[in-house]
Amino acid sequence: MIFRLRAPQPPLSYFVENLWFYQDLKVNHTKEKLLPNGAVELIIDLSEGPKKLYNNLDLAQFVTYNRCWISGMQQRYIVIGVERGSSMMGVHFRTGGAAPFFGFPISELSGTVVELDLIWKSEMLFLREQLLETQSVDKKFDLLEAFLIRKAQSRLDPDKTLAAALATLRSWPVVPLGEVASSLGLSHKQMIAHFDCRVGLTPKLISRVFRFRRAVVGASLATAPLDWSDLAVAWGYYDQAHLIHEFQQFAGMTPAQYQKNHSEYPDYVPVD
């Protein structure tokens, strides 16, 4: 298996955390949970055949996606199919980073997975053909970076107001949203509208996702049974019950179940 990451250069780096590529995937399972991580993900399938997105409540049901798709901001886990030997590449946007590449509020993608030819039509399919014809992984990354810069046109100026708000919402103790908005010179309503357009989740919900992400990373790094009561407070929860409730909401499992079953990548949990 080949796995590569590239961190783009400015100005793209203000919006994109990394570009990724893998070839000849080696897995021993066919389904995995992808947990909410505060990111929008663009996926280009470089292998053949449709890929599956399962119904969380009934894994016998699924819908299929072909060639290229975008996964919007999620507020609950999704279950995706994985196929041994498959190859894909994609874009992991920073929180709030996907907006310059689309001509509509990014909240329209939230909670969904959408085939990209419905949005970018033949442009995306042409890019995929170029990627398939290119052997060098570095040149594949070059093509994808150039495509993103063309799509953003002149909209790659950093949003300093949004960056400051997100930095505050990542912190603990949590600052009341009214205080966050006031410190940035915004009304609460303006802040909500800004997040709807640029982030795709409300400030309150993205703050919860950030906190959950801290807990997920912490639990994934542990090599021994954890004292969930103490860690709940350390990760920003009121108590252990609050921690368990949030894991059930976002991951559909308890923290202990997550620690036992997670993969080497914190956001992914094999299902079978």
In the chain, where are the structural domains located? 2-152, 160-200, 204-270
Tell me how far CA of residue 22 lies from CA of 25, 116, 125, 160, in angstroms. 7, 20, 19, 33
The parts of the chain modelled with pLDDT lower than 70 are: none
How far apart (Å, rounded) are the C-alpha atoms in residues 177 and 174?
9
Q: What is the second-level CATH architecture of the domain 2-152?
A: Sandwich (2.60)
| β-bridge mates for residue 143, sequence order | none
Amino acid at 3: F
What tokens were used for 114?
Answer: 């959408």
Query: What is residue 172's predicted lDDT score, i.e. its pLDDT?
Result: 73
Asked whether this chain's domains 2-152 and 204-270 adopt the same fold, the reply is: no
pLDDT of residue 174: 77
Q: Which segments of 153-187 does DSSP mark as H helices, in order?
A: 160-169, 177-183
pLDDT at 85: 96
For residues 209 and 38, what is the distance between their CA atoms, to the nearest angstrom?
6
User: What pLDDT sits at residue 226?
Assistant: 84
CA gap 111, 239 in Å, rounded: 28
pTM: 0.95
Query: How is domain 204-270 classified at the architecture level of CATH?
Result: Orthogonal Bundle (1.10)
Question: For position 29, what pLDDT does the model report?
Answer: 94
